[in-house]
Each structure stands twice: as C-alpha cells, then as structure tokens.
Amino acid sequence: MRFTINGQSHEAEVDIRTSLLDLAREHLGLTGSKKGCDHGQCGACTMLVNGRRINSCLTLAVMHQDDDIVTIEGLGTPEALHPLQAAFVRHDGYQCGYCTPGQICSAVGMLDEVAKGWPSHASADLDAVTLDDAEISERMSGNICRCAAYPNIVDAIREVAGERDEVAA
Amino acid sequence: MSLIGTLLGREETRSLTMDQPHPHSLLDQGTQGVIGRPLDRIEGPLKVSGRATYAAEYPAENLAYGVLVRAPFGSGTIRDVVADAARSVPGVIDVVTDYPTFIRNPQQGGEMKAPTQGVQKVDYHGEIVAIVVADTFEAAREGAALVHVDAEPAEGAYVFAAHRDQAETPPPDQIPPTTSQGDVDAAMAAAAVTVDATYTTPSQNSAAMEPHASIAHWQDDGTLVLHGAYQMVASDQSQLAAALGVAKDKVRIVSRYVGGGFGSKLGIAPESVAAAVAARKLARPVKVAMARQQVFDATVRRSNTEQRIRLGAGPDGRLTAIAHETLATNLPGEDFFEPAGIGTHFAYAAANRLVDHKLVRLNWLLAGSMRAPGEAVGMLALEAAMDELAEKLQLDPIELRRRNEPDQDPEKQVPFSSRQLVPCMDKGAQLFGWADRHAAPASDRRGEWWHGMGMAAAVRSNMLQKSSARVQLTPEGRAIVATDMTDIGTGSYTILAQIAAETLGLPLDRVEVQLGDGAAPPSAGSGGSWGAGSAGSSVYLACELLREKLAKAMGTSPESMTLKDGRAIADNRAVDIAELVGDGLSALGEIAPGKQEKAFNQASYGAHFAEVKVNAVTGEVRVERMLGVFAAGRILNEKTARSQCLGGMTFGIGAALTEELVHDPRNGKVVNRDLGEYHVPVNADVPQIDVHFLDERDIHANPIHAKGIGELGISGAGAAIANAIYNATGVRVRDYPITCDKLLEGLPG
Ligand code: FES
Ligand code: FES
C-alpha cells in the first residue's frame, strides 16, 4: 500500500491486522505516537489523517491507502518546535510526556475544527462557536493525562489559539 | 562508567549522613540564580516532539514480540497450558511457560529480593502464566488468544464483606500496624462532643498512561540489559536478578523516560521476568508491552479500605481522643498494608490516641503503593471526620484545626522540623475567599445547582533515602550529572540540572543530566516523594566537592570563590572554569538518612480548598475551582513543583468522585479493567486549579532543605471536595467515590 506520512511517501507491505499506530511505532520507527490503551480510550495515539485527528490504534493501516498522515514527529523537531509544542513546554503542559504527543496532535486537529465552526457539547450557541476554557477542556477530553497537566494544557492551547486569532484579525 | 575518575585517579566521594542539622546550603549562596525558578523542563523539547524514548521504543536487531497470557480464573492450580493452536499460528515462535520462575505477584518498591514466584498456583484472576512469542506483535496476539489454561480450581476469598471478620494484624511495614497512647474509650465516653463514623474507599489503580513494558536483551557476556518502565532502577535490578537466578551485576535496567508511575512501577511486574525468560530461551531480544487490561489485572492496586474514625472533643473543640482503625486487604502471604493512619499519627493533638491497621486476605490482585500510600485514602476519612466534628461544634473547620495544632509530635514527643499547617490554612482562606462560605449546608442554590465550599488539611511524612550521583566537569567546562535516579514526570532531570548549575555557577545549558541507567551510581529512585531531596542532595554533595577542587586549582578557598556563568571569581581574578578543570574532574556524592530522622518529625503540610456545585436533579458533581497552599521546604523549581501538586490534587478529584476498581464477587476479577470503565479525571473534570507555596527551608531534612511534594497534593484533596459536597447539599457520603447514585436520595428538594 501507499501513503504519505510526515510529508514522505511510503510504499509498504502491511499485515492486514496491523493498526495505523503499530505501523508507525513498530515498522516505521516513528515512536512518537504512544500506545496507552490500544482501545480508543485514552488518545495517546492521536494522529492527523488528512487533517483530522483520529485514534490511530482504532484504525487499520490498510484503510489508509493514499492518505496523508501526520504524527507528532511531523509537526516539529526539538530544534524547530511547532507553536503548540513550544507552548506545551512553556506552560508545562505535560509531566511524564507519555500522553503529550497525542495531546498536541489532538489540539492541532481541534483548533481546526473550531476554525471550521464545528460546535461541541460545551457550545452555548451552535452557530457561533468561540473558544473559551470550557470549550478547550470539553474538546480535549478524549486525551487522558494521568499526570493531570490539564490546566496547563488549556493554558498552552488558549495561548496559541489567541495568537492565531490576533494574526487573523 | 567511572572512566574519567579511574584514569585520572581523581574521583573522590563526598558522603553525608543526616545526623546533624545542615543549616547552611550552597543553594542559598549561589549566584547563578536558577534554583527555585519556574524554568522549563530541560527534556521538554524531546517530549513534545515525540523524541523522548520510553521503554518499549528502543530498536533491537532480530526483535521478537511477546504477548502475555493470563489465568482466567480466581484461584487454582494449573494442570496444563495448552498451546498447540497458538503454536500453529504463522509467525509464532514459541509459547514459553516457566512455572517456578515467572512471578506470581509483582514486587513492592525498594525490596531487594525476588517477588513471590511460581505461577502454577494461581492466586488471583488475571495472573500472568505464559508468554507467546512471535515475529510480529499481531501473530503473538493472535496466538495468545488461542492459549487455553487448564486448571484445577480452588476455593478463593473474593468478597471483602464476607471476610472482614477474619482480619489479622500484619507485621510492621511502612509503619507499625498499631500504636496507642492513653485510653481512647474512656476519653470518648467523657467527651462533650464526639464523631464515630466509618468511611470506605475502593480499590484503585495508578493507571499511568504508559503501560508496563520491557525489552529484554541478553548480551554475549551473559548480562541482561532490560529497557523497562521502572521507578527504582537499583532495587528493581536486584529483584530481577534474584527472580532470574543470576548475579546482581548481571542485570542492567535502563529507564530513561517513564510514562508515569504513581507507585505502579516501583517493583518489578510480570512482563519483565516473562520477557527475560523468553529472550534467554530464544536467544533473541524480546519486547513485551502489557495491554491496558493486563495492567489492571496483574500489576498493583491501591487497597480498598474500611476506616473507622472516632474523635472526642471538649466543648471548645479541643480533641481529647483520636482513633483511626483501618481494615485493608491483600493477597495471602503479602504483608503490605495500606497505612491509612500514617498521617493521623501527628496531624492533630489529643492525649488519647489509637492508630490501628488490620489485613483481610483476599484473592484480589496485589495491593501495594499508589501515590501517597496511607495519606491518600486515610485523609479522605480523617479530614471528612474533622469536618463532621466542626459542624457538630458549630465551629469553622479552619478554627477547629487551629485549636488542635500540636506543638510537637503528639505521639513521639519530638519537635517538628517545620510545620506550617496553620499558615497554609490562613493563606488559603484568604486567597480562596473562604469568608464567603455559608456555614449552614444547602443554603446556596442557583438554578438547578447547589453550591458549596470545603477545605481539608494535607500532611505527608518526609523521607530521605540513601542516594548517590556522579558529577563530572569536562575540559570544556560542562557538567555531566549521572545517577540511576528516574524522572517519571516529576521533574528530576530539570531540578538536578538546576542544583548542579547553581552550585557550580554554570548556565543551565551547560549541564547535562543522564538518568535511569542502572550502570550509573545507585539512587533512591522515584517513590515516596523522596526523589528530589535524596537524589538532589547527592548531586549537591558531588558539586560541593567539585567546588573545593576548583578552588584549590585556583589557589583559593571555596568560601572566597564565586562561581557564576562558567567563571570562577576570587581575589580579584576571574577565570573560565574550563581552565581549572584540566583533563576533567569527577566527584561522587552520597547522602544517607541519619539521626535527624528520629530526632524530628519531618513532614510537609498544606491546605486544600474546593468549591463544587451539585445538580439538584441528577446529583452530578462539578468541581468549580480548587486551591492548594503548600509548605514543603525549598521549592526547587516552582513550575515543576506546581505541576506535581496539580497532579496530586487531580488524583484527589478522581478519588472523591469517580475512581473505583470493581471486583467480581465470584472470582475477584477486575470488572472495569480499562480506561473506558475505570474513570480517571479527564480535562473537562478538572477546573483551573491554583497552587500556592509558602516559603520554607527544612535544615533537618537534607542539605538542600527541600521536602517531598509529589504526594502532598493528593493528601486531603478529595476530602476537601467531599466536605464541599456536604456544604452544598447537606448530604454526607462516607462511601467513596461520591457518585450521583449515592447523593440522589438525600438531596434537598
Ligand atoms: S492508544 Fe489509542 S486511544 Fe489509547
Ligand atoms: S504527561 Fe503524563 S500522562 Fe500526560
């Protein structure tokens, strides 16, 4: 099968039982995406597939022919961090770091959903979505952080979202 | 590892046993200005970019994948592990069983001996009994599903209520099981006001986000290198070597990054031995990552508890009696008991006291340490009971605690090394707006929601453990810190770098910290909140020695030398440190606990404040805001320390509201063995939490004057929420977690 991951196109023979997460971690050497549960219950494996966030443990690799996949490694490097990655460092939006790649990929996807005006359970007005703390918390609740960096994660995301709004305005 | 030291013959050791107070600390005299500051984690860029490498992520040639097989029954003896079907799965290499060597129960933290081995005997549902090894994970998983465990079933004890009457007194563990002073019964009978209440807490799971994982790789010289997810490398190496029957120096564990521990990775778990046995048999490296369900089944739980608290007080609220009697559970032969009364020993004054623990033997998975063993659940009971007493006395809960402030350890009659409970409560009251609380419960309804505030005290004993570290100064004037200490999210990398940078006068980016490698000097490891104080002191001592060497090289005394920004300044001269180092300098630092431990009661303190709202229709509880004020000696890094407190307080939210392992009464099986059913707090459950630190130095604790903080945040946090729920609704739930169903019936109309 063929797919693009972090901008690089790949051709690979893939076991039909292999999840997208295991493809990345065990076959492509991309161990940034984490396995916390393998059951779609923790969000540690979150990747962006064609721009949308998904739990990569819950999808088989073979379902992603021709897809454009981005993992945490594709967002930035230690020397050139993505703005959200840098904000997580500044705000201590992590402790052990195991949920962190998933949190950050999820936040990238989430901000895009907000930009598209998709409402959530926390939205007071379904037609005019604004990103307050309650919205961030609600939309990030698929990503468990047992270290409980939640308040700092919210701070980091709010800051980056705010900067974006300023640029857009 | 001590290459430089040996080659140059220069490595010396600076040891310190804490027999005396240590009033002077170089950290107060440093001019680098990095200690205490809220600096970003030095390993942060690696973590946020996915480049930090956790146990299961190390590449190895010819790696095979192992998937563990469990016993699907609660008690019995295995007749056969039937593996023909598994062996016929393409890609499966072998199904490995080794009854005597596989570990039946994981080990407790800090033990040097092998855990209970022997898996032909099954003591709890989910015990790991075999491993399927294959060329791919998928084949191993398919094979594991096909293994049949044939067994002779045995009777088991699966229900707490049915066996609580057979509780026995365990041998001393972290604390003695029983202590008493005076006559509690007589004091209770004579007291003007009393509380006699029983609280229950369920089994809990640490649920660290990284499941336990090991890659076992036997080297040609017969050494096992195990990349594992472990908190205490040195003792885990001893445990693993003993379990495998090899010499201690033939096992090297590497745990550079650990995806959370919270106690669950203190001692070795079944995957380590299974991986090592399989790797030895197949002569190739084997990787085993436990499935999340196996982590729930077969690692370690916090014991459930039943706690009876009795408080007797005079009309002025002064306590005359405190009794805290706990029933906890564990497997047959396992003597760890949840020390729920550990904080009650010294939290409040009272002449008549009883703290007691008994164990009920059950065939549930091992009970052991989970974040703040003792205080985490003990304070849920004690601090709720104090709230009940305050209500009976018509006293403000803070005032009640103030009136029962002991002037020394009320049992051992030794002074406190420091104790700022009252200042924590006062500061918190002021910051939180405690004065706005309605004293009468159920008096603040807004629309569908009842609102209320609660508070609770936090206490956590401070411990120092033996720990060592090597610090090298390279010819380029950089420092390299090496110790087998781990960073499980606690901030070890960063605080150790800060200590070295401050004492050696180096910018932080000229300090490199190497952790988690069993080849490095042994440390206290991450447990019991002793990591910062113990490992930090060892680094401090090594640096102190290096300072002396630098001073000597400069021809001056350490006292008259200032180290800053990589330069040594003395006698109106300034020299680049690199010029004083020659071919490199190396020093070992070693700290050990001493007489200060017994001469003083050492603990950290805090006060929690919570505001909740409870839905009048559904009983849903929302935590609106929380504040924790803490005094824990010197805060080494305000940013990472705050995060530790956030984490602890959030564990408190989970304990108060959602976390409960449910055991099947028929076989002890953990019914809710995944993150969909075992409810840890998620982002939307946690409000913006405020954390405030009081300035403190503890000169009796260690030379850096810091005390533990990782577990203080959980102590009492859940009780503050429970007390807020009572204040909001007038409903007192004594059976944690406080779920909607327990509240609904009593909610005011
Ligand atoms: S590993 Fe995919 S959601 Fe947990
Ligand atoms: S940082 Fe440890 S689980 Fe989130």
| A-chain residues near B48 (CB < 8 A) | 72, 76, 81, 85-86, 88-89, 94, 97, 100-101, 104
Instruction: Tell me which long-range contacts A57-63 makes (C-beta under 8 A, separation of at least 24).
Output: A57/A19, A57/A20, A57/A21, A57/A22, A58/A19, A59/A19, A59/A20, A60/A16, A60/A17, A60/A18, A60/A19, A60/A20, A61/A1, A61/A14, A61/A18, A61/A19, A61/A20, A61/A22, A61/A23, A62/A1, A62/A14, A62/A16, A62/A18, A63/A20
**Torsion angle, alpha carbons of B480, B486, B491, B493, to 10:** 10
**Contact call for A75 and B49, based on CB within 8 A:** yes
In the block, tokens 């003993």 appear at B242
Residues 65-84 of A with CB under 8 A from B: 71-73, 75-79, 81
**Beta carbons of B177 and B345 less than 8 angstroms apart:** no
Per the residue annotation, which of B61, B391, B711, B745 is the catalytic one? B711
Please determine, for residue B2, whether its predicted confidence score (pLDDT) is greater than 70.
Answer: no
Q: Which residues contact residue A4 at a Cβ distance below 8 angstroms, ignoring those fewer than 6 apart? A: A10, A67, A68, A69
Which atom of ligand 2 lies closest to the CA of B259? Answer: 2
* Residue extents of the structural domains in chain A: 2-75, 83-168
**What tokens appear for B240 in the block?**
């693993």
In the block, tokens 């079944």 appear at B270
Distance, CA B629 to ligand 1 centroid (Å)?
35
**What tokens appear for B530 in the block?**
């002793």
pLDDT at B749: 79
Among A112, A103, A115, residue whose Cα is nearest residue A142: A103
Among protein residues, the one whose CA lies closest to atom 3 of ligand 2:
A145
Per-residue pLDDT band for A166 (boundaries 50, 70, 90) equals low
Among B268, B326, B277, residue whose Cα is nearest residue B300: B268
The per-residue pLDDT for range B234-267, each reduced to its tens digit, is: 999 999 999 999 999 999 999 999 999 999 999 9
Residues having CB within 6 Å of any atom of ligand 2: A 94-100, 145-147, 149; B 209, 260, 489
What is the nearest CA distance from B295 to chain A, expressed in angstroms?
10
B572 touches chain A (CB under 8 A): no
What is the nearest CA distance from A16 to chain B, expressed in angstroms?
9
> Which residue of A20, A22, A41 sits with most ligand 1 atoms within 8 Å of its CB, as the best mutation to test the pocket?
A41
| A-chain residues near B137 (CB < 8 A) | 22, 26
Chain centre distance of CA A67: 16
Which of A19, A27, A96 should we substitute to test contact with B (largest number of B Cβ atoms within 10 Å)?
A96
Concatenating the DSSP letter of every residue in B288-319 gives: EE--HHHHHHHS-EEPPEEEEEEEEE-TT--E
Residue A131: count of CB within 10 angstroms of its CB: 20
What is the C-alpha to C-alpha distance for residues B341 and B357, in angstroms, rounded to an integer? 8
Which of B47, B48, B486, B493 should we substitute to test contact with A (largest number of A Cβ atoms within 10 Å)?
B48
**Contact call for A98 and B651, based on CB within 8 A:** no
What is the C-alpha to C-alpha distance for residues B237 and B231, in angstroms, rounded to an integer? 11
Among A92, A71, A87, A81, residue whose Cα is nearest residue A23: A71
What CATH architecture is B61-155+209-260+265-299?
Answer: 2-Layer Sandwich (3.30)
What is the C-alpha to C-alpha distance for residues B571 and B311, in angstroms, rounded to an integer? 64
Per-residue pLDDT band for B361 (boundaries 50, 70, 90) equals very high
Chain centre distance of CA B479: 29
Distance, CA B293 to ligand 1 centroid (Å)?
13
How many contacts does A have with B, using Cβ atoms within 8 A?
195
Please determine, for residue B4, whether its predicted confidence score (pLDDT) is greater than 50.
Answer: no
Determine the average pLDDT of the residues in B648-656: 98
Domains B4-23+465-593 and B61-155+209-260+265-299 share a fold: yes
Distance, CA A28 to ligand 1 centroid (Å)?
18
Residue B740: count of CB within 10 angstroms of its CB: 14
**Beta carbons of A110 and A139 less than 8 angstroms apart:** yes
**Beta carbons of B704 and B462 less than 8 angstroms apart:** no
Please determine, for residue B29, whether its predicted confidence score (pLDDT) is greater than 80.
Answer: yes
Determine the average pLDDT of the residues in A58-87: 98
| B-chain residues near A143 (CB < 8 A) | 683
Residue A126: count of CB within 10 angstroms of its CB: 10
Which of B39, B49, B137 should we substitute to test contact with A (largest number of A Cβ atoms within 10 Å)?
B49
The per-residue pLDDT for range B54-106, each reduced to its tens digit, is: 999 999 999 999 999 999 999 999 999 999 999 999 999 999 999 999 999 99
* Residue extents of the structural domains in chain B: 4-23+465-593, 61-155+209-260+265-299, 178-203+302-463+599-744
The pTM assigned to this predicted structure is 0.97
Distance, CA A21 to ligand 1 centroid (Å)?
9
**Contact call for A31 and B41, based on CB within 8 A:** no
In the block, tokens 């402790």 appear at A95
What is the nearest CA distance from A58 to chain B, expressed in angstroms?
14
The per-residue pLDDT for range A25-66, each reduced to its tens digit, is: 999 999 999 999 999 999 999 999 999 999 999 999 999 999
Task: Please name the member of B138, B209, B683 whose beta carbon is closest to the beta carbon of A98.
Answer: B209
pLDDT at B102: 98
Distance, CA A99 to ligand 1 centroid (Å)?
10
Which atom of ligand 1 lies closest to the CA of A57? Answer: 2
The per-residue pLDDT for range B430-465, each reduced to its tens digit, is: 999 999 999 999 999 999 999 999 999 999 999 999
pLDDT at B30: 83
Per-residue pLDDT band for B1 (boundaries 50, 70, 90) equals very low
Determine the average pLDDT of the residues in B660-674: 98
B40 touches chain A (CB under 8 A): yes
Instruction: Sort residue B417 into left (φ over 0), alpha (ψ -120 to 50) or beta.
Output: alpha
Task: Please name the member of B47, B643, B675 whose beta carbon is closest to the beta carbon of A144.
Answer: B675
The per-residue pLDDT for range B148-205, each reduced to its tens digit, is: 999 999 999 999 999 999 999 999 998 999 999 999 999 999 999 999 999 999 999 9
Residue of A nearest to B47 (CA): A97
**Beta carbons of B164 and B360 less than 8 angstroms apart:** yes
How many residues are present in chain A?
Answer: 169
**What tokens appear for B440 in the block?**
């009468």
Distance, CA A122 to ligand 2 centroid (Å)?
24
The per-residue pLDDT for range B518-534, each reduced to its tens digit, is: 999 999 999 999 999 99
pLDDT at B174: 85
Instruction: Return the HEC string of chain A.
Output: CEEEECCEEEECCCCCCCEHHHHHHHHCCCCCCCCCCCCCCCCCCEEEECCEEEEHHHCEHHHHCCCEEECHHHHCCCCCCCHHHHHHHHCCCCCCCCCHHHHHHHHHHHHHHHHCCCCCCCCCCCCCCCCCHHHHHHHCCCCCCCCCCHHHHHHHHHHHHHHHHHHHC
Please determine, for residue B647, whether its predicted confidence score (pLDDT) is greater than 80.
Answer: yes
Distance, CA B418 to ligand 2 centroid (Å)?
32
Q: What is the CATH number of domain B178-203+302-463+599-744?
A: 3.30.365.10
Distance, CA B135 to ligand 2 centroid (Å)?
31
B446 touches chain A (CB under 8 A): no
The per-residue pLDDT for range B616-638, each reduced to its tens digit, is: 999 999 999 999 999 999 999 99
The percent of residues above 90 in pLDDT, for chain B, comes to 98
What is the C-alpha to C-alpha distance for residues B537 and B25, in angstroms, rounded to an integer? 10
B688 touches chain A (CB under 8 A): yes
| A-chain residues near B209 (CB < 8 A) | 34, 36, 42, 44, 96, 98-99, 144-147
Count of alpha carbons within 13 angstroms of residue A97, beta-carbon side: 30
Q: What is the CATH number of domain A83-168?
A: 1.10.150.120
Please determine, for residue B6, whether its predicted confidence score (pLDDT) is greater than 80.
Answer: no
Please determine, for residue B211, whether its predicted confidence score (pLDDT) is greater than 70.
Answer: yes
B304 touches chain A (CB under 8 A): no
Task: List alpha helices for B95-195, DSSP H.
Answer: 137-146, 160-163, 184-190
What CATH architecture is B4-23+465-593?
Answer: 2-Layer Sandwich (3.30)
Task: Please name the member of B260, B289, B650 whose beta carbon is closest to the beta carbon of A150.
Answer: B650
Residue of B nearest to A95 (CA): B489
CATH topology for A2-75 is Ubiquitin-like (UB roll) (3.10.20)
Residues having CB within 6 Å of any atom of ligand 1: A 35-38, 40-45, 55, 57
> Which residue of A146, A153, A154 sits with most ligand 2 atoms within 8 Å of its CB, as the best mutation to test the pocket?
A146
Average pLDDT along chain B: 97
Please determine, for residue B501, whether its predicted confidence score (pLDDT) is greater than 80.
Answer: yes
What is the nearest CA distance from B22 to chain A, expressed in angstroms?
31
Task: Please name the member of B48, B136, B687 whose beta carbon is closest to the beta carbon of A94.
Answer: B48
Q: What is the DSSP letter of B155?
A: -
Q: Is B111 a catalytic residue?
A: no
| A-chain residues near B689 (CB < 8 A) | 151
Q: Which residues contact residue B413 at a Cβ distance below 8 angstroms, ignoring those fewer than 6 apart? A: none
In the block, tokens 């994970």 appear at B137
| A-chain residues near B259 (CB < 8 A) | 34, 36, 96-99
- Whether the CA torsion B722, B728, B733, B736 is positive or negative: it is negative
**Contact call for A143 and B683, based on CB within 8 A:** yes
- What is the three-class DSSP state of B381? helix
What is the nearest CA distance from A84 to chain B, expressed in angstroms?
9
Average pLDDT along chain A: 96
What is the maximal distance between C-alpha atoms in chain B? 83
The per-residue pLDDT for range B459-491, each reduced to its tens digit, is: 999 999 999 999 999 999 999 999 999 999 999
pLDDT at B10: 65
**Contact call for B208 and A31, based on CB within 8 A:** no
> Which residue of A49, A54, A57 sits with most ligand 1 atoms within 8 Å of its CB, as the best mutation to test the pocket?
A57
pLDDT at B5: 39
